[in-house]
């Protein structure tokens, strides 16, 4: 019931994550996934799914409670000990892109623990970076996604780096 609501929302929302074909779920496992298609600041990039499957072996490391493994997180277990595998496999199916919009906040059910469910962007970053840190994977932003020109301007970096050196002693507030 709960799952269905989120699934619907996932469909309604403009999507961030593009590639997993819903219909073929469980049958085909994609070797690559194009990620980050909506960002203006960073380029989309190809995620090597196959390589990650090799490295981690266990699907549930990323796809918690969706791919046939039982729920493992002790917090989830409290309610979901006997829950069956969920329909949704792709991240975007549950994690919204705009979790702080007025509508999204309105739809969050205050009575469940799911209220604190991270947005799609946060879910992916936390999942990826958390593991990369333990596995000594790449950690820098541009190790995964190249910054766009607009991104350079936004961060005042690259071609847009500040030219005039700050005058010492001023504006630093100390």
Partner 1 sequence: MKKLIASGAITVNSPQKSSDRKWTFMEKLFLGLTLPQYIGQALRNPFNWIIAIIFAVGIPIILGRFIFGLSWVTHSSNDYPWGLFLAFGLFGMVPLSSSGFLLGTACEVFGRHDLEPIERLGLLNGLLGYFFAVVFLLIDLGQPWRLPFPMVVSFGPAAVLFLVAWHVSTYLSVQIAEVSVSFFEWIGFPIGVRAIRKITLGLTVSGIILSTLHQGALGALFTYAPGKVHPLWYSSSFQWIHFFVSSIPGGLCMVITVSTIASKTMSWRFDQRFKDSLDRVTVSLAKGASMGLATYLTIKLMSIAHDNKWAYLTTGYGQWYLVEIMIGVIIPMTLFAYAIHHKKLPIIRFSALLVVLGIFLNRLNTALITFNWKLSEREIPHWREVAICVTVYTIYIVVYRFILYRLPIFYQWKTQEQYALAYAAKPETTILKDTEPALVFASKTEAKAFRNAETITS
Partner 2 sequence: MKRRDFLKGCLIGGAAASLGAPSKSWAVGSFEGYPDAMGVLVDTTRCIGCRSCEAACNKEQKLPEPDVPFDDTSVFEEKRRTTEKAYTVVNRYETNDGQKPPYRKMQCNHCNEPGCLTSCFVNAYTKTKEGAVIYNGNVCVGCKTCMVACPFNIPAYSYSSAFDPLIKKCIFCYHTRLKFGKPPACVEICPQEALTFGLRSDLIKMGHERIRETPDRYIDHIYGEKEMGGTSWLYLSRVPDDQIGLDTTLGNEPVISNVKDFLGMVPMVLTIWPALFSGIHLLATRNKDHGDEHHNHSEQEDGKK
Residues engaged in binding partner 1 (CB under 8 A): 169-171, 173-174
Minimum gap (Å) between residue 173 Cβ and partner 1? 4
Task: Decide which of partner 2, partner 1, none touches 102; Cβ closer than 5 to 8 Å per partner kind.
Answer: partner 2
CB 96, CB 7: distance < 8 Å = no
Task: Decide which of partner 1, partner 2, none touches 40; Cβ closer than 5 to 8 Å per partner kind.
Answer: none
CB 16, CB 38: distance < 8 Å = yes
DSSP string, the chain: -HHHHHHHHHHHSPPS-----GGGTTT---SEEEE--S-SSB--EEEEHHHHHHHH--GGGTSTTTSSPPP--HHHHHHHTTPPPPS--SHHHHS-S-TTSHHHHHHS-TTSGGGGPPPHHHHHHHHHHHHHHHHT---SHHHHS-B-HHHHHHTT-GGG---SPPPTTSSS--
Task: Decide which of partner 2, partner 1, none touches 169; Cβ closer than 5 to 8 Å per partner kind.
Answer: partner 1
Task: Decide which of partner 1, partner 2, none touches 101; Cβ closer than 5 to 8 Å per partner kind.
Answer: partner 2
Minimum gap (Å) between residue 39 Cβ and partner 2? 10
Nearer to partner 1, 136 or 174 (CB): 174
Minimum gap (Å) between residue 77 Cβ and partner 1? 45
Q: Contacts with partner 2 in 109-128 (CB under 8 A)?
A: 110, 113, 115-116, 118-119, 121-122, 125-126
Residues that contact partner 2, how many (by CB under 8 A): 34
Residues that bind partner 2 (CB under 8 A): 75, 99-102, 105, 110, 113, 115-116, 118-119, 121-122, 125-126, 129, 133, 141, 154-158, 160-162, 165-166, 170-174
């Amino acid at each position: 019931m709960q799952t269905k609501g989120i699934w619907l929302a996932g469909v309604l929302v403009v999507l961030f994550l593009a590639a997993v074909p819903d219909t073929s779920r469980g049958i085909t496992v994609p070797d690559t996934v194009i990620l980050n298609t909506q960002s203006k600041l960073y380029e989309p990039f190809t995620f090597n799914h196959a390589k990650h499957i090799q490295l981690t072996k266990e699907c549930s490391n990323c796809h918690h409670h969706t791919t046939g493994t039982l729920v493992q997180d002790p917090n989830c277990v409290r309610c979901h000990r006997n829950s069956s595998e969920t329909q949704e496999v792709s991240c975007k199916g549950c994690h919204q892109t705009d979790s702080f919009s007025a509508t999204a906040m309105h739809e969050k059910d205050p009575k469940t623990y799911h209220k604190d469910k991270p947005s799609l962007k946060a879910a992916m970053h936390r999942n990826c970076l958390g593991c990369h840190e333990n596995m000594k994977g790449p950690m820098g932003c541009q190790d995964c996604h190249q910054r766009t020109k607009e991104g350079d301007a936004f961060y005042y970096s690259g071609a847009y780096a500040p030219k005039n050196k700050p005058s010492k002693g001023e504006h630093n507030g100390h």
